[in-house]
C-alpha cells in the first residue's frame, strides 16, 4: 500500500467523465453528483485510487459520470462487490451508491452485512421513496397508503427507515442529508469519507417524475425550519424558525417543548454522536414528520476495527507465525511419504 | 472380490503371553473394507487412519466416505449410518471399489444399511454389544440377523467391542461413556492385525491429537492395541491377509481429497500468478472443505471471505477480481443457481474469476452429501442471455489440483469467468497424490496495462480476444465497467443493435477460441475398437477400470475422457465419429449426451445412473459387454 506523495491539485472538473449524464432534467441526483465531484478533489486522494460501485436503479448510474474507477453492477449487489474490492485493496477509497430499492429491498441483506463488518467504505443511499427506473412503483421507504402504479389502492407495506436499519446493523457512522441543502450535504460527505469504517449516508433525493415534492416539508422555505433539526455534536436539540423549540425526553419518549416558561436548553436532549450505545442515535432516527422535525447531519460516529484491517492483521500474523508460505511448503503440508 | 486372492501362505506363528498359535496368511492383491456405524461413532476417522497407514505402507489407495446429511441423526437408526470405504491394493486402483470384502458394522443399522454391498464371500465384523433388542428394532430388524441365519453366507465375526473397550482402558479413570468413544480405535486395531498393518501412523496421530488430554490419548491407544491383540490372541481369526506394496512411480506423496486439491490448486495458482488469492464463498455441502482448507493458508496471502449468502460470495469475488486479485468462489448446485446473475455480470465485464461447483444430488436441496453430475447443462446454459463460459471438469481427486490451475490459466489469459466442475465423490474421495515438481507447473504471470499516452480502451482485444485487465490504482486508466452492453473498444454503454450482436459474437468467439489452447482428447484402450466410452468428471476411475477389465478378457473397447466441456477439444468430433458406437456413462439423465449428439451429429447413447452413488466398475463392465454382444 503506497500513498502517492505528490497529489496533483484536482478540481471538480477533473472528476467529470466523458459520458453524457442521462438523469431526468430536474432530478435530485444532479445536485448530489455535483457535491460529490466538489468534495472529491478536497480529499487529496489520487483519482486512480477512487472506486465507485453501484447496483441498479437511477442512482446506480452514478459511477458512469465520475472520472475514476467504477463498477455499475447488478441489482442490490453493489455492497458485496465493494466488499471484494476493499478486502482485495484496502488502499482504495471505495464508494457505494445505492437507492432505497437497490439497497433496502433486493440488496437489503448485503446492506446489513456490509455495515456490520465495518469495512472502510462510504455508502450513499439516495432515498426518493419510489422506484424510478422501473417507472413508479412503491419502494421499501414509501409511506403506508401510497398510491402508485403497483398500489392503486394504496400501499399496505409499512416502510423501513434506512437509518434505523443501519443503526440496527451496528453502523459506526450514520448521517442524513438533503439533495437541495448542498452545503450541508458537502459537509456530511466529507465527514463520511473521514470516518474510518462504514459510513452510511441517507440522502433525501427528489424524484421529480414519479414522487415529486416527497420531501418538500423538509426543504420548502415555509416549512423547512420547523420540519428539520440540524444535529450538532454536544449541542441541545433545538429547531424552528425562531430556534425556540427543542426535544426533551419524557420518560423514554421524546417530546417537543418550547423554550421559555421555565424550560431552558439544559432541559433538552443534547446530541452525542460518539455515544457508545446507539440508543440516542436510534431514537433520533425514529423522529418523523409531521409529529417531529426530521434530524439531518451526523447521528452516530464511533470507532470500531474495520474488517479489512483485522483481515490484514490475521494474514500478517499467520506469516509471522508460520513464515511466508512457499509452494514446496504447501505441498508438504500433512502426512507426506516417499516412494523409492 | 473375484480373483483377488493371488497366493496363500500358511504357518505364520503369532504369539502372545507365552501362547503360540498357528495362523495362516493369505496374500491378496487388494482389499475393499467399509467401516459403518452411527454418525457419531468415528467411522470416518477409522477409515482415514487405515487409509493413511496403507498409503504410507506403500499400497495404492482410493477412498469414499458416505455420510448422512444430518450431523447426528438419532442414534441407531438407518438415517444416522455413516460409512467409509477404502480400497487398498498392490496394483494401481482408480476407484474405492464396487462392493466391499470386509464390513465392520458397529450396530444393527450399520449392518442393515451396508450388508447388500458386501461380496458374497465377504467378511463381516460386528459389535455384538450394540445388537440389543432396542437397536434391532430401531434398525427395522424383526429378528437378530446374527442369529437367524440371514447373513450366513458371509464369514461373520462377533466381537463384544463395547465390553472390551470398557475393560481395556478402565484404569484411565474415564467414565464408561468416554471409554465407549474409543470403539472405533478398537475396530481399527483389529483390522490392523487382520491385514498386517503397522500401527505407528495411528499411534502418532492419537498422541498429537490428544496431547493435552492424556487420559483420552491413553484410552484410545489402549483400545487400538486391544483390538490388535484381540485378533492376535483369540482363536476367532484363523487367517491374516497381506496386501503388498504397489508399484507406484517413485516420488514424494501425500493423500489428497478433491476438495483439498482444489484449495491447494488455488493457492498454487496465486503463487504462480504472483498474486494474492481471494476466495469468497458461503458454506455449502459438499464444497465447504475448500473454504476450511483455504482458511488455513493465510500465510500464503490467502484471504477467505465467508459472505452472507451465495450471491454476495460471487459478487465479492468479482470485486476482488476487478481490484486485481486472483479470485474464486466455490459452491454446489443450489449455490450456482443463486450465483447465475453475477456470473453473467462476470461474462459481461469480462473479469477473470473461477467458480467451482462441487456437484451434489439435485434438484433443489436434493441429496446434499451424495454425488451427482447433473449440473453440466446448468454450467453450460444456466444464465440469461447469450452467456458462454468455459467449463472444465476434474476427473480424479488429484486432477482437481491440475484443473484448478488450468481454470485460472484460462480465466486470466482470456479474461473470462471459468466454471470448474467437481462432485461429492471427488470432493471427499481421496487417493495418493505425487507432489508436483515446481518446474512442471505453468507460469500464470499476468501483464496489467499501464498508461502509455494513448487513449485507454477497456474493451480493446488482444490476440486471445481478451480485454485488458486494468487495475484500480493505475494512473491514467480510470474507466467504468458494468452489466449494461458495452460498446466494442471503448466499453461505454451502448444500446446499438449492431454493436450488441457484434459483442455477443466477440464474447462467444473468445470462449470458442480456447479450443486452440487446450490439449486434444486422448483415446485409452483399443483405437480400433467398435465401442467408445465417452466420460467426463468423476466417472473416470470406473470407466477406465471397466475398460481394463473387458480388455483383459480379450475384447476390444476404448474410452476417452472430456476434461474440457466448453469449448470441447478440437479433435473430439473426429474421435467420436471414428467409432461405430459411442456410449456416455453419466451420473445424471444424460447431459453430455445431448451436447455430443447436437454438436457432432453422432448417435451416441446414454448410460445413466442417478442414485447419489458413483458407478460400480461391474456396472460399466456389464454395459460394455451388453453393447459388445448386442
Chain B residues with CB under 8 Å of A45 CB are none
Task: Provide the pLDDT confidence category of residue B171 given band limits of 50, 70 and 90.
Answer: confident
Whole-angstrom CA distances from B285 to A321, B289, B337, B397, B476 are 31, 8, 15, 17, 44
| Cα maximum dimension of chain B | 93
Q: Is B516 part of a structural domain of the chain? A: no
Same domain, residue pair B195 and B271: no
Residues A66-98 have pLDDT tens digits of: 999 999 999 999 999 999 999 999 999 999 999
Residue B260 covered by a domain = yes
Q: Which of residues 565-604 of B touch A (CB under 8 A)?
A: none
Question: Mean of the per-residue pLDDT values for chain A?
Answer: 95
Whether B295 and B411 map to the same domain: the answer is: yes
The CATH number for B222's domain is: 3.40.920.10
The pLDDT value recorded for residue B2 is: 40
Contacts with B494 from chain A: Cβ below 8 Å: none
- What's residue B239's pLDDT? 87
| Residue B5 predicted with pLDDT over 70 | no
Residue B79 belongs to a domain: yes
**What is d(CA A75, CA B18) in angstroms, rounded to the nearest whole number?**
79
pLDDT for B442 beyond 80 = yes
Report pLDDT digits (tens) over B192-208: 999 999 999 999 999 99
Of A80, A336, A339, the CB nearest to B250: A339
Query: What's the mean pLDDT when you consider all of chain B?
Result: 94
Answer with the one of B439, B469, B503 that is the final residue of a domain.
B439
Tell me the CATH number at B550: 3.40.50.920
Map residue A236 onto helix, strand or coil.
strand
Q: Are residues B76 and B193 in the same domain?
A: yes
Residues for chain B: how many in total?
A: 630
A143-148 mean pLDDT: 96
Instruction: Name all domains of chain A by residue range, CATH numbers in brackets.
Output: 1-214+305-340 (3.40.50.970), 229-294 (no CATH)
Count structural domains, chain B: 3
Strand order of the sheet with strand B581-586? B523-525, B558-562, B531-536, B581-586, B605-608
User: DSSP assignment of A20-62, as one string?
Assistant: PP-SPTT-THHHHHHHHHHHGGGGT--GGGEEEEE-SSSGGGG
What average pLDDT does the segment B384-396 reach? 98
Q: How confident is the model at residue B19 (pLDDT cuts 50, 70, 90)?
A: low
Instruction: Provide the H-helix boundaries in B173-287.
Output: 176-180, 183-194, 200-209, 214-233, 258-272
Considering the domain boundaries, does residue B278 fall inside one? yes
Q: Which of B387, B407, B439 is the last residue of a domain?
A: B439
Same domain, B193 and B51: yes
Average pLDDT on B11-34 reads: 74
Q: A-contacting residues of B 487-506, CB under 8 Å?
A: 492-493
Q: Are residues B215 and B264 in the same domain?
A: no
Q: What is residue A3's predicted lDDT score, i.e. its pLDDT?
A: 46
* Strand order, beta sheet including B239-242: B5-16, B19-28, B239-242
Burial pattern A222-247, b for ≥16 Cβ within 10 A else e, equals ebbbbbbbbbeeeebbbbbeeeebbb
**pLDDT at position B1 over 60:** no
Are residue B570 and residue B548 in the same domain, yes or no?
Answer: yes
Q: Do B231 and B127 sit in the same domain of this protein?
A: yes
Range of the domain at B233: 5-243
Would you say A266 and A260 are in contact if contact means Cβ atoms under 8 Å apart? no
Is residue B119 domain-shared with residue B38, that is, in the same domain? Answer: yes
Q: How confident is the model at residue A337, as a pLDDT?
A: 86
CATH number of the domain at B378, please.
Answer: 3.40.50.970
* B445, part of any domain: no
DSSP state, residue B62: E
- Is residue B114 situated within a structural domain? yes
Q: Report, as an integer, the average pLDDT of B126-135.
A: 95
Any chain A CB within 8 A of the CB of B383? no
Q: How far apart are CA B587 and CA B597, in angstroms?
A: 18
- Interface touch B324/A91, C-beta < 8 Å: no
Question: Does the pLDDT value for residue B242 go beyond 70?
Answer: yes
Q: Strand, helix or coil at B552?
A: helix
B301 and B175 housed in the same domain: no
Buried b (16+ CB within 10 A) or exposed e, B84-100: bbbbbbbeebbbbbbbb
Check whether A338 has a pLDDT greater than 90.
no
The rounded distance, in Å, linking the Cα atoms of B347 and B503 is 11
User: Is the pLDDT score of B11 beyond 70?
Assistant: no
Query: Minimal Cα–Cα distance from A238 to chain B, Å?
Result: 41
ipTM, interface predicted TM-score of the complex: 0.96
Q: Are residues B208 and B259 in the same domain?
A: no
Residues B305, B162 share a domain: no
Query: What strands lie across the sheet with B353-359, from one edge to the other?
Result: B302-306, B277-281, B326-331, B353-359, B417-423, B391-393, B564-566
The residue among B221, B243, B265 that closes a domain is B243
Identify the residue whose cell numbers are 446530541: A271
Structural domain includes residue B449: no
Same domain, B103 and B180: yes
| Assigned domain for B91 exists | yes
A68 at B interface, C-beta within 8 A:
yes
Amino acid at each position: 500500500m503506497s500513498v502517492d506523495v505528490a497529489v496533483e491539485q484536482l478540481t471538480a472538473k477533473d472528476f467529470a467523465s466523458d459520458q453524457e449524464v442521462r438523469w431526468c432534467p430536474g432530478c435530485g441526483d444532479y445536485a448530489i453528483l455535483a457535491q460529490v465531484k466538489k468534495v472529491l478533489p478536497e480529499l487529496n486522494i489520487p483519482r486512480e485510487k477512487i472506486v465507485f460501485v453501484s447496483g441498479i436503479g437511477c442512482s446506480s448510474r452514478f459511477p458512469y459520470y465520475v472520472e475514476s474507477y467504477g463498477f455499475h453492477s447488478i441489482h442490490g449487489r453493489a455492497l458485496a462487490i465493494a466488499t471484494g474490492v476493499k478486502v482485495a485493496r484496502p488502499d482504495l477509497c471505495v464508494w457505494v451508491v445505492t437507492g432505497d430499492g437497490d439497497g433496502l429491498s433486493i440488496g437489503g441483506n448485503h446492506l446489513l452485512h456490509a455495515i456490520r463488518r465495518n469495512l472502510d467504505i462510504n455508502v450513499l443511499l439516495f432515498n426518493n421513496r419510489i422506484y424510478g427506473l422501473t417507472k413508479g412503483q412503491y419502494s421499501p421507504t414509501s409511506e403506508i397508503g401510497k398510491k402508485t402504479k403497483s398500489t392503486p389502492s394504496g400501499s399496505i407495506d409499512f416502510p423501513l427507515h434506512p437509518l434505523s436499519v443501519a443503526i440496527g446493523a451496528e453502523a459506526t457512522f450514520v448521517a442524513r442529508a438533503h439533495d437541495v441543502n448542498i452545503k450541508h450535504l458537502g459537509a456530511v460527505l466529507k465527514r463520511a469519507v473521514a470516518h474510518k469504517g462504514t459510513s452510511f449516508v441517507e440522502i433525501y433525493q427528489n424524484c421529480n417524475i414519479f414522487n415529486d415534492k416527497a420531501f418538500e416539508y423538509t426543504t420548502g422555505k415555509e416549512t423547512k425550519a420547523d420540519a428539520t433539526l440540524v444535529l450538532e455534536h454536544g449541542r441541545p436539540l433545538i429547531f424552528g424558525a425562531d430556534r425556540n423549540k427543542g426535544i426533551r425526553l419524557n420518560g423514554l419518549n421524546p417530546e417537543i417543548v418550547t423554550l421559555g416558561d421555565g424550560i431552558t436548553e439544559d432541559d433538552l436532549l443534547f446530541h452525542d454522536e460518539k455515544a457508545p450505545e446507539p440508543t440516542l442515535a436510534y431514537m433520533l432516527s425514529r423522529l418523523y414528520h409531521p409529529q417531529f422535525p426530521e434530524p439531518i447531519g451526523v447521528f452516530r460516529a464511533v470507532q470500531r476495527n474495520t474488517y479489512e484491517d483485522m483481515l490484514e492483521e490475521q494474514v500478517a500474523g499467520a506469516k509471522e507465525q508460520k513464515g511466508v508460505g512457499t509452494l514446496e511448503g504447501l505441498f508438504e503440508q500433512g502426512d507426506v511419504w516417499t516412494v523409492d | 472380490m473375484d480373483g483377488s486372492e493371488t497366493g496363500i501362505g500358511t504357518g505364520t506363528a503369532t504369539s502372545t503371553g507365552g501362547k503360540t498359535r498357528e495362523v495362516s496368511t493369505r496374500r491378496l492383491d487388494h482389499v475393499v473394507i467399509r467401516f459403518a456405524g452411527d454418525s457419531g461413532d468415528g467411522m470416518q476417522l477409522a477409515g482415514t487412519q487405515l487409509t493413511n497407514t496403507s498409503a504410507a505402507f506403500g499400497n495404492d489407495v482410493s477412498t469414499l466416505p458416505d455420510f448422512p446429511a444430518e450431523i447426528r441423526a438419532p442414534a441407531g437408526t438407518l438415517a444416522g449410518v455413516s460409512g467409509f470405504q477404502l480400497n487398498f491394493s498392490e496394483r494401481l486402483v482408480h476407484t474405492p471399489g464396487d462392493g466391499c470384502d470386509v464390513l465392520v458394522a458397529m450396530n444393527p443399522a450399520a449392518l442393515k444399511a451396508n450388508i447388500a454391498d458386501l461380496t458374497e464371500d465377504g467378511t463381516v465384523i460386528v459389535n455384538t454389544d450394540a445388537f440389543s433388542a432396542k437397536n434391532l428394532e430401531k434398525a427395522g430388524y424383526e429378528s437378530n440377523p446374527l442369529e437367524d441365519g440371514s447373513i450366513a453366507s458371509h464369514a461373520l465375526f462377533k466381537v463384544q467391542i463395547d465390553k472390551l473397550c470398557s475393560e481395556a482402558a478402565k484404569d484411565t479413570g474415564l467414565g464408561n461413556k468416554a471409554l465407549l468413544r474409543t470403539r472405533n480405535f478398537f475396530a481399527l486395531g483389529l483390522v490392523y492385525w487382520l491385514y498386517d498393518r503397522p500401527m505407528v501412523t495411528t499411534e502418532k496421530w492419537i498422541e498429537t491429537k490428544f496431547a493435552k488430554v492424556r487420559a483420552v490419548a491413553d484410552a484410545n491407544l489402549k483400545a487400538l492395541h486391544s483390538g490388535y491383540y484381540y485378533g492376535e490372541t483369540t482363536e476367532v481369526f484363523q487367517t491374516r491377509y497381506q496386501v503388498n506394496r504397489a508399484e507406484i512411480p517413485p516420488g514424494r506423496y501425500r493423500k489428497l481429497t478433491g476438495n483439498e486439491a482444489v484449495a491447494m490448486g488455488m493457492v498454487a495458482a496465486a503463487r504462480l500468478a504472483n498474486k494474492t488469492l481471494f476466495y469468497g464463498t458461503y458454506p455449502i455441502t459438499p464444497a465447504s472443505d475448500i473454504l476450511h482448507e483455504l482458511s488455513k493458508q493465510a500465510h500464503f496471502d490467502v484471504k477467505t471471505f465467508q459472505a452472507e449468502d451465495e450471491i454476495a460470495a460471487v459478487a465479492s469475488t468479482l470485486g476482488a477480481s476487478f481490484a486485481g486479485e486472483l479470485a474464486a468462489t466455490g459452491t454446489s448446485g443450489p449455490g450456482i443457481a443463486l450465483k447465475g446473475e453475477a456470473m453473467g455480470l462476470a461474462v459481461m465485464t469480462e473479469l477473470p474469476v473461477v467458480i467451482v461447483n462441487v456437484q451434489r444430488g439435485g434438484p433443489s436441496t436434493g441429496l446434499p452429501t451424495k454425488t451427482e453430475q447433473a449440473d453440466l447443462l446448468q454450467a453450460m446454459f444456466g444464465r440469461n442471455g447469450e452467456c458462454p463460459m468455459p467449463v472444465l471438469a476434474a476427473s480424479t481427486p488429484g486432477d482437481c489440483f491440475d484443473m484448478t490451475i488450468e481454470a485460472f490459466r484460462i480465466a486470466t489469459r482470456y479474461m473470462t469467468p471459468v466454471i470448474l466442475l467437481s462432485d461429492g465423490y471427488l470432493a471427499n474421495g481421496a487417493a495418493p497424490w505425487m507432489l508436483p515438481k515446481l518446474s512442471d507447473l505453468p507460469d500464470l504471470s499476468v501483464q496489467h496495462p499501464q498508461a502509455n499516452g494513448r487513449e485507454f480502451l477497456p474493451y480493446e482485444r488482444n490476440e486471445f480476444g481478451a480485454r485488458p485487465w486494468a487495475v484500480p490504482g493505475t494512473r491514467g486508466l480510470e474507466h467504468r465497467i458494468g452489466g449494461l452492453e458495452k460498446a466494442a473498444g471503448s466499453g461505454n454503454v451502448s444500446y446499438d443493435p449492431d454493436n450488441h450482436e457484434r459483442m455477443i459474437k466477440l464474447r462467444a468467439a473468445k470462449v470458442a477460441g480456447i479450443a486452440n489452447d487446450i490439449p486434444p482428447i486422448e483415446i485409452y484402450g483399443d483405437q480400433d475398437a467398435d465401442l467408445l466410452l465417452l466420460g467426463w468428471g468423476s466417472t473416470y476411475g470406473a470407466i477406465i477400470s471397466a475398460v481394463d477389465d473387458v480388455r483383459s478378457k480379450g475384447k476390444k473397447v476404448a474410452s476417452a475422457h472430456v476434461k474440457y466441456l466448453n469449448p470441447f477439444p478440437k479433435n473430439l468430433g473426429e474421435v467420436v465419429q471414428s467409432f461405430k458406437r459411442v456410449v456416455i456413462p453419466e451420473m445424471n439423465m444424460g447431459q453430455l449426451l445431448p451436447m455430443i449428439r447436437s454438436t457432432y451429429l453422432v448417435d451416441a447413447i446414454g448410460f445413466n445412473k442417478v442414485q447419489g452413488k458413483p458407478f460400480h466398475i461391474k456396472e460399466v463392465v456389464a454395459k460394455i459387454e451388453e453393447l459388445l454382444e448386442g
